[in-house]
Chains A and B, each alone.
Chain A
Amino acid sequence: MKFVDEFRNPELIRQAVAEIAALAPSETVRIMEVCGGHTHSIHRFGLRQFLPDTVELIHGPGCPVCVLPMSRIDDGLSLTERPEVIMTAFGDMMRVPGHGGSLLERKARGADVRMVYSPLDALKIARDNPDREVVFFGIGFETTTPSSALTVMRAKAEGIGNFSLFCNHIVLPPALKSVLDAPDLRIDAFIGPGHVSTVIGARPYDFIAREYARPVVISGFEPLDMLQTIALLLKQLREGKAEVVNNYARVVPEEGNPAAIKAMDKVFELRDTFEWRGMGFIPHSALKMRPEWAEWDAEIKFAIRPVTVETHEAHAQARCGEVVRGAAKPTDCPLYGTVCTPEHPVGALMVSSEGACAAYHQYRRE
């Protein structure tokens, strides 16, 4: 299939829905969609209405700004107080509140904070401002990490010493292991991430099938992709199988992107541990820059402590932590849609367009 019409073809959709109905489990199964893009698709296309009552979809920890602990945001905010610093960040990162406000609020108060589309744009700012220190607030999974690696490699190649990376990059598979190990989360199957898998391939999920006996199906984002993926998962569950299946082969190569993996490995290494909002510290779940790249490491350059501890949520009633790991739904939070809205977010999950709370809010059906 090459055209979007085919992925939204009513007859093909009906076939997939019928297949799901035929595979409807007798007892409730909990399927986690790992990534925010899938959460967005489920709500945007109203896919829940096509699923049996015994199929429950649980959103996963796949939104990087949502899982970043506030204390880490505070560390970034502290850099904006340095007069020599130009802080750069992606647009959604600008609005995420730390204890001391957001980058956008700092900008409104006069700090030099600039939104960029790519860390390569931040490097250009450094090139154009040799008397300033340009910091890029690096965030994201294996989809954004390659661009950070490439930027640092170019900074070195061009001898640009006034650029540094504040590295908050995280890796997905350990977070899934944490979900599987959580005693209060019983997840029966996973909708595997689409574009993260473009980079890392399908093999990093093998442990889920092998060690935890849970099926994983990597999926695209069209309604037909999602429904076919759910049918494939239900079929495996019915047959007692646990395999990793690539249902997004038109984009995801089995081996991922070797050049991007090589660049990430050249610049970064695993941290011993890193804190995830709502999930606590997860071993080997984030990246730091290798010592040979210290000149471009903002943590070293500005003596930022490498691991910080979440102290409290922005609002005592907010249930961001439970929502981010799938233990509660956005609608279970008393702040959802009342004091916490996309216009005035209290928690990070309402900021990013693909945060679970924002997706629920945008497509909610009364």
Chain B
Amino acid sequence: MPTDLAHYGSCTLNDTCPSCGEGAVPVRVLRCVGEVAEVEDQAGNRAEVALDFVSGVSVGDVLLVQSGVALGRAEA
């Protein structure tokens, strides 16, 4: 059973305060292509995010994204 995204915050890709320092959206990685990942949030919304600041990302990882860029990875 996968880690629950909701305990990294309730924000989704469609419902977040993008400029707020606390608006990072927890998402799960569906696919990686180069430095871009396709991700899905807890509501099923999907988006592409840049991986420039997080290395070694794999499918299934939980990332925190802010304004289209991954900023961190949750512990496994």
What residues of chain A have their CB less than 8 Å away from a CB belonging to chain B? 1-7, 35-38, 40, 44, 62-65, 90-93, 117-121, 139-144, 146-147, 150, 172, 193-196, 198-199, 220-222, 249-253, 257, 259-260, 263, 352-354
Contacts and interface: CB of A to CB of B under 8 A. Distances in A.
The 7 closest A-B pairs by CB, nearest first: A37-B22, A118-B68, A141-B21, A195-B24, A90-B18, A4-B6, A198-B72
Interface string B31-71: 00000000000000001001011110000000010111101
Contacts of B55: 259
A37 B10 CA distance: 10
A140 B4 CA distance: 27
Given A92-B17, A198-B72, A251-B64, A257 B8 contact: no
Interface string B2-30: 01101111100100011111111000000
A140 to B, nearest CB: 5
* Interface-central residue, B23, B24, B47, by most chain A CB under 10 Å: B23
Contact of A90 (B6, B19, B71, B72): B19
A52 B73 CA distance: 35
A4 B53 contact: no
A193 B23 CA distance: 11
A142 B69 contact: no
B19 A259 contact: no
Given A7-B7, A221-B22, A354-B20, A143 B52 contact: no
B20 A37 contact: yes
A250 B5 CA distance: 12
A63 to B, nearest CB: 6
Contacts of A35: 20-22
Contacts of B64: 195, 198, 251
A81 B54 CA distance: 39
Contacts of A1: 7
A196 B22 contact: yes
A118 B67 contact: yes
Given A2-B3, A146-B53, A251 B8 contact: yes
Contact of B67 (A36, A147, A263, A352): A147
Contact of A144 (B6, B9, B19): B19
A263 B52 contact: yes
A275 B17 CA distance: 22
B55 to A, nearest CB: 7
Given A35-B22, A92-B19, A150-B53, 20 more contacts: A2-B7, A37-B23, A90-B67, A92-B17, A120-B67, A121-B68, A139-B19, A140-B21, A143-B24, A144-B66, A195-B9, A195-B21, A196-B21, A220-B7, A249-B75, A250-B75, A251-B8, A259-B55, A263-B53, A354-B23
B67 A144 contact: yes
A82 B18 CA distance: 26
Contacts of B69: 118, 120, 146-147, 150
Given A353-B17, A354-B20, A195 B68 contact: no
* Interface-central residue, A35, A143, A257, by most chain B CB under 10 Å: A143
B14 to A, nearest CB: 9
Nearest to B13: A117
Contacts of B8: 220-221, 250-251
A333 B40 CA distance: 40
A147 B10 CA distance: 21
